[in-house]
Structure 1
Amino acid sequence: MNRRWIGALAAVVVAVAGFAPAAAAAPVSRAACPDPGPGRARCLTTFAPGAVRTLADGPVAWGADDLASAYRLPAAAGPDTVVGISIAYDAPNLEADLAAYRAQYGLPPCTTANGCFTKVNQRGAATPLPAADFGWALESTLDVSMVSAACPSCRIVVVEGDSPGFADLAETEDTAVRLGAKVVSNSYGARESGAPLAFASHYQHPGVTVVASSGDAGFTAASYPAVLASTVAVGGTTLARDPGSPRGWAESAWQYGGSGCSAYIAKPAWQRDTHCGKRTVADVAAAAEDIAIHYADAGGWLPVNGTSASAPFIAGLYGRSGHAGTAQPADLYAHATQFVDITAGNNDPSGGGKKCGGDYLCVAGPGYDAPTGVGVPNGLTGF
């Protein structure tokens, strides 16, 4: 049984028995980044401050070994593809937190000294770096951890914007490409509108695969930059062990994973769902709930949630596949049968699918659906 359901059941038993329910309450999650206001993107991560564990205690959420098992990743080391991370603000302890994560899961070191890890400002210089921000630094830590879990051999270039303004983030994208990234991950989003779409060209580079989180607000307006036709939009799932299944894992649409129907972007020729006349989000999915990272500023190991976990993980798989740069969103649909189809769950937290009338736009089912796209990875074959 999924450990989160076990916790919920225990809370119910305690309440019925007449004991104080507060003692059994699960840690409350909150957004890492507050609403930034107009003209800016928001990082897409939630975390539970009350669930922090020390480095010595170790993590309890899903780690790199769990993800490798769930998605049948090969044991052999992959190529040293450069994966770019577009992000806002500085994460001062990023390299140390990444070292703790990689050591925990037996991944090779990725450091400035060995040339695996690079961190620069939006102009590509090592100094000066932008101001630090707790929430965005947590996001950066999640990003580099998930790239590492997916592709331990990949090199990582983190480009830190001066702010989460659309212009600054667009420049981080261009800089990551200029520094050699063949795939760039974007774990932030803003409601689709004319203002961010003015920067769409920065998310389209020849020879580069661009990946973005689909959002963490369930079925709603499409999220930028995931909604761009040049971008692989990554939705989220809830992962659970299932020893009785051939795969050994069960997976369903994460209730908060983003999906939506664009109001601006024309329907790409390679996307053929029928209830959205324009671009539909998402294209593919991966685990987005109860993901372990080490973040010293929060006190150690903590579980986090968000399509900001699934997007960099998928970016890492592109890097590991050897097809980063040549692979584009259309290829996922051409290789749809090579993914694990997710047929359970929905991303309508308020109504279990009522928000979209039970339609594939917010309810997972056989074949393509908006919350999980063509499905989740089954090794590297679909990439």
Structure 2
Amino acid sequence: MIGLTKNNKTRKMGPKFRARPTALDLRFIGVPGNPDSVEIHVESTPRGLRSHPIVIGKSALRAMRKSLIDGIEAYTRDKTFGKLKALAELGYETFNILSSTHGPIHRERWRKLFEAPNDVRHSVIRVKFDGDFSFPVGLLCSSKPTTDQYKELVNKFIGARSVVINSLGMIHDREDDRNHVSVKRPCWVAHAIDVDVPGAGKESKFLGALEGLRTSRCKSKAELVEAWNSRKTGIIHFTSHHRFDVDSGQYVLTLSGGEKFGALSDRVQINRANDGLPFLFLNGCNTGQVLAGFPDTFASSLSPAFSSGILTTLHSVGGVDAAQFARTYYQKWLATDFAIDALAQTKHEYVFNRRDFSAITYEFWAMPEVLTLFEWSDDEEEIS
């Protein structure tokens, strides 16, 4: 395990053994000699099942992505069953187009592959994008949404049954220690906040009230960089606007007073050892999507060299909903120790217990297989 200690001192360990979750790998790979096309590969591990690759145009994928994102945003504005069913029908239509490329046998194989990891608490879908696009795999439906029962309908969405981990050019399937990361508990949280974001004050209040988190505000870039470089900081939480900055040619997250943190330009100020990188929660709009045709994202610019793992969003979020989700996620993480399990439990709480499908928007970016919290011995030397 990689942690924030000196000299590999003893710590109070959490669970020693944890079963590897059922995993499904999707790879969106560029086609040599045809830059406008993408080849999609699907493979189930550890069973070793796979489908024939699909070749499809990027423009078609982007059009499908826009329709799906428009659908989930329409639902979040008006959380009615009708909006949800319309999104499910769109998710199934898109799944059907992709899976039917090689005929009905191939479509059935796709359905079986995607329905195998059918419990969000035990399954992970790892998605690798090759370049200048991304796709909301979690919004696909693998079977036709004919039901009028809420729980039966939401269970058809891939993202309701699995935790999605996205990445550009890499998938965390390594067996070395870099895939097993720990964060000190109690957690020091640097809250990178733009006070002009709707709900920012409430989000700050929620974080500050959670037992087990020690939160400090970072309103300026200088404060954020200082916290990032401090090895006691285990989590950096952004409450910010996210956008592509045309002038600087990069993704940025806003801070207070008009400042902004550029993923490419400002990361050069971060000087922190790889054995203690912070977890990032990017609680802004579209932080997990490749936008503007730029072959990078805010998240990918900061992983894995500047973060241990990242939680992102598929579409526009904000206000009280984003603040409440953050509070619930940290409550689950503090209770369960494992970051991936915490997201699974939070999604299950929202989607199935609260009957609020909006939690589907949160997905990981470049996460290690195990990122967990650990209690540390009282006599252990703390790093400042």
Task: Output the TM-score relative to the length of structure 2.
Answer: 0.30
Structure number with the higher strand fraction is 2
